[in-house]
Amino acid sequence: MAACHPSDVDADQSVQAEEFDYVIVGAGSAGCVLASRLSEEPTTSVLLLEAGPQDRNPLIHIPAAFPKLFDGSLDWGYRTTAQPNLANRRVFWPRGRMLGGSSSMNAMMWIRGAPSDFDAWAVEAGPGWSYETLLPYFLRLEDTAGLSRPDEVHGVGGPMPVAAQRDPNQLTRAWLSAAGERGIGPLADTRTGLETGVALASVNQRDGRRVSSADAYLRPARSRRNLVIRTGAAVGRIVVESGRATGVDYRIGRSGRRVRARREVILTAGAINSPQLLMCSGIGPAPLLARLGIDVLADRREVGQNLQDHLTAGVAFGARRKVSIASAQSLGALLRYVIAKKGPLTSNVAEGFGFVRSGDSPDLPDLELLFVPSLFINEGLAIPKAHGLTLGAVLLEPQSRGSISIKSQDPESDPEIDPAYLSDSEGKDAAKLREGIQICLDIASAPSLASEITELVQPDGPINDQTIELSLREFAQTLYHPVGTCRMGTDAGSVVDSHLRVRGVERLRVVDASVIPLITHGHTHAPTVLVAERAADLIRS
């Protein structure tokens, strides 16, 4: 996202005064969708700017390889501020920096969320965001494997494949059996509602390869003459004239450039970079901007606020048999993948998932369970050399709220990310996650899984009264689902209105996970693609 100061562009004689109808900033889960949909009209010109490179690295397209992208050149590699409730750790937040954005390095799980999640959006942002209104968009964008025609809840023929895993690990099957032995039965299709149970995850893959938003939406549209895609294009400022967004300043290499938007500038840079770019451009909390010497163009106090994320914690064990997906690093696994698109390299890593209710007996399951047939340790930064397995619990209804802020007017400087994990006043977040970790331990002790495991690896040592607290405080991590920092709503305090237009600046929209007012009971890639599909219609209308 970030790169150049206004003065860099003003002084650079190589500035190119190009014009497009739409200028889209960020080629991630949402930006690829918008670029494709808006360029369907051949008389409409679209420029898509992405700070990162093309998505040519083979590790992007091999499903099980995505942790190897963490903290590398294709990752923004953010860290949070020190979290007081997580042993003052700075939690690692990977975010994709390439075509496809984080959809090019996620676990490919397609979990829409509960219908009531979207009805809650409608309460905040109007009836256009209700489940009834949004369901046709899900049906339009999905391509459900195994179905010949769509039904009431499953889409067929859309850009985004939703497929069964090609070759799930036998340890994942053991976890499903162990969950059943602890009273957690099979999970019905999550697209019909949200109930308790466990299942194999549905994934965005086709023939054993990842399908990102760039694969699904951008690649089929790239030959259009009215669509221009520029990678390595780091945007530093939105140009605002007389209260109207007219373009952006960006840099490619050492060359500062300015591009004008005849119709709109659209931010699709994500829940971290979109609010950062707004604030660096003078759109945000006036006291902060004034303190940093940034001219205040629009005093929007909630830019960067309302940050929500799914926190996850769990336990990892050694495995008795050498059957985990640690074998994905072998030559045999590579050959099997290349020849047959089978084996551990097709794994999405988090192969098993499920939903359970905490002791508070909520209306919806408020904890997600995850199973990885491998050692997923050190926030995914340690590539496993030994065989093992990991069980995790996810806090689906966080009460804690954090923020994204900026520390200087320099858009190259990393923003300050404070998710404020486990900071709710009543302590419900911590209590529920503790309960989730206990459920993970209970499943691990069930016969089908107990026969597969050896010692506890993370946290290491014996299982005792401290295991849960150590798991929570020392090893809890993000599930990579930040949302809410440019909240949409009908109230005057919201950052964007129900049509995703930034309040106080004309011809400027935000279309990405940052506009989601309340986090869903599921993973955030599906809702983000949905937001972009809906936004395309709002913009064209």
CA dist., res. 240 & res. 333, Å (int): 53
Q: Cα(first)–Cα(last) distance of the chain, in Å?
A: 28
For residue 409, what is the DSSP state?
A: S
Residue showing tokens 């999905």: 142
Which of 323, 331, 353 shows the shortest CA–CA distance to 109?
A: 353
Query: How many DSSP H helices and E strands does the chain contain?
Result: 15, 24
DSSP letters for 177-232: HHHHHTT--BPPPGGG---SEEEEPPBSEETTEE--HIIIIIHHHTT-TTEEEEES
Classify each residue of 329-363 as buried b or exposed e, where b means 16 or more C-beta atoms within 10 Å of its C-beta.
Answer: beeebeebbeeebebbbbbbbbbbbbbbbbeeeee
Q: Are 194 and 349 in contact (CB under 8 A)?
A: no
**Three-state secondary structure call for residue 59:** helix
The two structure tokens encoding residue 475: 């090893």
**Token duo for residue 4:** 């150049």
Distance CA 517, CA 429 (A): 19
User: E strands, 13-99, where?
Assistant: 17-25, 46-50, 78-83, 89-93
For 187, which DSSP code?
Answer: P
3-state SS assignment for residue 173:
helix
Report residue 226: phi and psi, to 5°.
Answer: -90, 5
Give burial (CB, 10 Å; 0-12/13-18/19+) of 70.
middle
Three-state SS at 445: coil
Cis peptide before 398 (omega within 30 of 0): no
How many residues in the chain?
Answer: 541
Distance of CA 336 to the CA centre of its chain: 30
Report the catalytic residues.
Answer: 481
Within 13 Å of residue 217, how many CA atoms lie on the same side as its CB?
34
Cα 146 from chain centre: 26
The token pair at 301 is 């106090």
Q: With contact defined as beta carbons under 8 Å apart, do 249 and 4 qualify?
A: yes
Q: Shortest CA distance to 266 belongs to which of 74, 10, 533, 35?
A: 35
User: Which is nearest to 101 in space by CA: 206, 214, 226?
Assistant: 214
Amino acid at 199: A
| Contact yes or no for 407/416 (Cβ under 8 A) | yes
The dihedral through the CA atoms of 428, 433, 438, 439 has a sign that is: positive
Give CA–CA dist 354/160, Å, rounded. 22
- The helix or strand, by DSSP H or E, that contains position 455, with its residue range, turns out to be strand 453-458
Residue 119 belongs to what H/E stretch?
helix 115-125
